[in-house]
């Protein structure tokens, strides 16, 4: 995102109590218990302010805008972990649309009846239903249908604060998002955009090295997010991650077809996402939270601790010991301006999110 400047919002806290041997305290941000301690240490006061806001029955609407694999779902899950699923909901437009694929089930739900009642548009409801039931979805669903589908789902959330992933998805939906809180009767509640800056090099490697368990569909990355057990096929000279889920009984994780091409097959979508982010960045009257998941190497030590940087795992086969050797080091990437950077793990990005959310909500 060459034309936009997103601020670096660090996590280092002055006078943080030292850990063992007087060294900088290190938190286990890979476990829920460790993350709880981490967030309390970094943004404990801000979390209390937001909890107080939510406990009074207040809500908000947040629109995530970021390219594919920018972490929207991950950040939402961490915020739900902090504040509770009874207070915050993550709504994925893509997931809602995919639920309509099981048409025989969907048409018998209360949500379908509300959707039919809410829909207004240029294409008849019956025509849309026919295309869905016959799986003829070569054309994008009308925006008006998407809005009605969202409203029908949000009715079920009983006044929770909402993170929406997938609206706006196209340029014509930007204006709808500006007034969406009125459509769903959240008229007096704050709303804001969450814009995510992620280098294309990060997206590329997340896709190229992604593997998925064929049994439970859990996703990992052979370079960036490994499992506890790794095998080496000497015949094919290839490493395999073994799924950590015990119910999968040692299933080898596999690559999805096309992932080896990286981001090139989705280049058009990435360009569209970038235009949406630039458009939202220029809007007046709606607050914005700006997130970046990377930091220039020259600035990293000033703002972040080592354990907050994304590690890269280099796998080597030790033929003598007959085992896989794992070498861990900070993952370096070039941002879209060619600057050498470290990638950040999700928790420090969420710290930046919470710091800005307090300001946006006026707490």
CATH assignment at residue 350? 3.40.50
Residues 270 and 200 reside in one and the same domain: yes
Q: What is the pLDDT of residue 135?
A: 58
Tell me: pLDDT of 20 over 80: no
Q: Supply 307's token pair.
A: 């354990």
Radius of gyration of the chain (CA): 22
Residue 284's domain comprises 20-87+160-207+262-311+336-360
Pairing outcome for strands 294-296 and 340-343: antiparallel
- Let me know how long the chain is: 363
Q: What is the pLDDT of residue 2?
A: 53
pLDDT band at 222 (very low <50, low <70, confident <90, very high): very high
Residues 24 and 98 reside in one and the same domain: no
**pLDDT, mean over the chain:** 88
Residues 138 and 182 reside in one and the same domain: no
Residues 284 and 354 reside in one and the same domain: yes
Residues 169 and 198 reside in one and the same domain: yes
In a domain, 67, yes or no: yes
In a domain, 323, yes or no: no
Residues 273 and 343 reside in one and the same domain: yes
Least confident of 73-82, 119-128, 139-148, 339-348: 139-148
Q: What percent of the chain has pLDDT over 70?
A: 94
Q: How far is CA 81 from the centre of its chain?
A: 14
Q: Which of 232, 226, 263 is nearest to 244 (CA)?
A: 226
In a domain, 181, yes or no: yes
In a domain, 326, yes or no: no
Instruction: Enter the pTM of the model.
Output: 0.88
Residues 40 and 188 reside in one and the same domain: yes
Residues 108 and 46 reside in one and the same domain: no
Select from 103, 136, 159 the last residue of a domain. 159
Average pLDDT rounded to a whole number, residues 256-272: 84
Residues 203 and 347 reside in one and the same domain: yes
- How far CA 271 is from CA of 87, 200, 276, 342, 347, in Å, comes to 34, 11, 9, 23, 27
Q: What is the pLDDT of residue 24?
A: 61
Residues 155 and 166 reside in one and the same domain: no
How far apart are the C-alpha atoms of 270 and 68, rounded to whole Å?
A: 7
Tell me: pLDDT of 136 over 80: no
- How far CA 159 is from CA of 61, 73, 313, in Å, comes to 11, 20, 43
Select from 159, 175, 195 the last residue of a domain. 159
Average pLDDT rounded to a whole number, residues 26-54: 94
Residues 285 and 137 reside in one and the same domain: no
In a domain, 344, yes or no: yes
In a domain, 175, yes or no: yes
Q: What is the pLDDT of residue 350?
A: 97
Residues 280 and 141 reside in one and the same domain: no
- Give the count of domains, the chain: 2
């Amino acid at each position: 995102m060459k034309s936009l400047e997103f601020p670096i919002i660090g996590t280092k806290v002055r006078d943080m109590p030292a850990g063992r041997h007087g060294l900088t305290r290190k938190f286990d941000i890979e476990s829920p218990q460790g993350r709880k301690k981490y967030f309390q240490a970094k943004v404990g006061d801000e979390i209390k302010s937001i909890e107080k806001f939510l406990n009074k029955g207040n809500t908000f609407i947040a629109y995530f805008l970021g390219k594919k694999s920018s972490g929207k779902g991950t950040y939402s899950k961490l915020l739900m972990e902090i504040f509770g699923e009874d207070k915050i909901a993550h709504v994925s437009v893509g997931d809602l649309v995919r639920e309509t694929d099981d048409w025989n089930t969907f048409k018998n739900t209360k949500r379908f009846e509300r959707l039919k009642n809410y829909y207004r548009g240029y294409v008849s409801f019956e025509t849309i239903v026919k295309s869905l039931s016959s799986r003829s979805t070569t054309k994008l669903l009308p925006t008006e249908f998407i809005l009605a589908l969202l409203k029908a789902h949000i009715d079920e959330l009983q006044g929770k604060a909402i993170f929406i992933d997938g609206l706006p998805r196209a340029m014509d939906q930007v204006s709808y998002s500006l007034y969406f809180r009125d459509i769903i009767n959240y008229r007096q509640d704050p709303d804001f955009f969450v814009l995510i800056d992620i280098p294309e090099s990060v997206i590329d490697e997340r896709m190229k090295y992604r593997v998925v368990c064929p049994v439970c569909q859990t996703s990992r990355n052979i370079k960036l997010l490994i499992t506890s057990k790794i095998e080496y096929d000497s015949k094919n000279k290839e490493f395999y991650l073994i799924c950590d889920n015990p119910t999968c009984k040692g299933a080898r994780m596999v690559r999805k077809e096309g992932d080896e091409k990286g981001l090139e097959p989705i280049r058009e979508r990435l360009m569209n996402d970038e235009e949406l982010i630039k458009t939202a960045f220029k809007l007046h009257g709606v607050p914005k939270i700006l997130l970046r998941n990377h930091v220039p190497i020259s600035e990293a030590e000033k703002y972040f601790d080592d354990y907050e940087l994304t590690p890269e795992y280099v796998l080597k086969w030790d033929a003598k010991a007959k085992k896989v050797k794992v070498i861990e080091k900070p993952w370096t990437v070039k941002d879209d301006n060619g600057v050498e950077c470290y990638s950040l793990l999700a928790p420090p990005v969420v710290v930046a999110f919470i710091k800005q959310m307090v300001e946006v909500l006026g707490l």
